[in-house]
Amino acid sequence: MVAFLDIGGAEKRFGAAAVLQGVDLSVAKGEFVSLLGPSGCGKTTLLRIVAGLLAPDRGTVVLDGADILRLPPHKRDVGVVFQNYALFPHLSVAENVAFGLRAHGRPAAETDATVAKFLDLVRMGEFARRPVQMLSGGQQQRVAVARALAVGPKLMLFDEPFSALDRKLRETMQIELRRLLRDLGTTAIFVTHDQDEALVMSDRIAIMNRGAIEQLAAPAEIYESPATAFALDFVGLSTRFEGKVVACAGGTAEIETAAGRLLGKGNYIPGARVTVGVRPERVRVGGALEPGENGVELPLRDAVYLGSKLLLHFDLPEPDRAVAEIGAAGFVLPAAGTRATLRWHFDDTLVFPEAPAP
């Protein structure tokens, strides 16, 4: 992959707090990468550094082969859609979209045509003359997107643009924005703390935690092979046990957990603390343990009916938890408190070394 955007070793401190601790991120041309992480992990800080609104303490930012770190924001060709939209309150919808084109000194006729084109693309054409304050949140969002895209930036940055919208609208906007960016061939980094949003929209997802990127991979890989216990917890549901390696031979570790002994892949020193995880749809409930399977017996806490499937939650003391997803058809639900066997294949067992203390 030839990197179109290349962030290397970005560090930023605010006083005593190390907000970014060496972030590396490469994005290919036309790619859509989500930055997914909990609130306060440094997502906005990273975006501001790329946009030129904040100087990193250390690191490089290369866009389209040019080092842009020393360029002011208005010379970077990086568009931003801010979390609160930041529309110009004294301008109409069309004037907001025209702002960047005028700043670039485009001829008036070209500006008008471009404004009309982008307002149509975000389906806001009929609102062109409205003052922006009279728009709903979703409409303001569309204007902000049109305004940023109209100048044709090399790279687009989105900072949780849909977090203020209700769920239904959010899902529509996700699909529309993704289609629009694909049609325009725009490279984009999209910040979100909503895993579903990241899974739906992204070519790749960067899992960010405490100022560092823990994994950068396609959505399926993030879900199926999380690189860290944090990635396992943050994306999707999972069963997880805290444990201690008691023996390790030939790349297979035997791990002592509160629910019993489990086998997992990896080379660990005996005594090492690890987290063992498995995704809910890999877990089977009931039946006899087969060769090559891990199994635990746990009391059922509750079942959540989701139409085609059931989510079964089992009783475990914190921070451990166990959840299984099974087809709802024909499954006879045991009463709460009944002990059931959970089994899953050894290959589906994920083992992570304990995260270093914060």
Ligand X SMILES: Nc1ncnc2c1ncn2[C@@H]1O[C@H](COP(=O)(O)OP(=O)(O)O)[C@@H](O)[C@H]1O
Within residues 16-55, the interface with ligand X by CB under 6 A covers: 19, 37, 39-45
In angstroms, give the least distance from the CB of 160 to Mg ion. 6
| 57 scored as a contact of ligand X (CB under 6 A) | no
Q: Which is nearer to ligand X, 189 or 248 (CB)?
A: 189
> Is 44 a residue that touches Mg ion (CB under 5 A)?
yes
Nearest to ligand X of 147, 193 (CB atom)? 193
Q: How far apart are CA 269 and CA 317, in angstroms?
A: 26
Compute CA distances 50 → 70, 210, 319, whole Å.
11, 18, 37
- Give the span between the Cα atoms of 27 and 187, in whole angstroms: 8
Q: Which residue is nearest to Mg ion (CB)?
A: 44
289 DSSP assignment? P
Q: Which residues ranging from 171 to 210 are in contact with Mg ion (CB under 5 A)?
A: none
Contact 265, 252 (CB under 8 A): yes
Nearer to Mg ion, 38 or 287 (CB): 38
Out of 53, 71, 169, 184, the only residue in the binding site for another protein (CB under 8 A) is: 53
The label of the residue with tokens 């485009």 reads 106
Q: Minimum distance from CB of 209 to ligand X (Å)?
A: 10
Task: Tell me the β-bridge partners of 155.
Answer: 78, 187
Quickly tell me which residue has 């823990």 as its tokens. 214
98, 111 Cβ separation under 8 angstroms: yes
> Does 111 help bind Mg ion (rule: CB under 5 A)?
no
C-alpha neighbours within 13 Å on the C-beta side of residue 34: 27
**Dist. CA 260–CA 262, nearest whole Å:** 7
Rg, C-alpha atoms of the chain: 24
Please count the other Cβ atoms lying within 10 Å of the Cβ belonging to residue 230.
21
Which residue among 3, 62, 71, 91 contacts another protein (CB under 8 A)?
A: 91
Regarding 147 and contact with another protein (CB under 8 A), the answer is yes
Binds another protein (CB under 8 A): choice among 9, 14, 74, 110: 74
Binding-site residue total for ligand X (CB under 6 A)?
10
The pattern of x and - marking residues 127 through 146 that bind another protein according to CB under 8 A reads: ----x---------------
- Taking Cα atoms as reference points, which of 301, 332, 326 lies closest to residue 314? 301
The site for Mg ion (CB under 5 A) is made up of 44
The site for ligand X (CB under 6 A) is made up of 14, 19, 37, 39-45
The site for another protein (CB under 8 A) is made up of 51-53, 72-74, 76-80, 82, 84, 86-91, 99-100, 102-104, 131, 147-148, 151
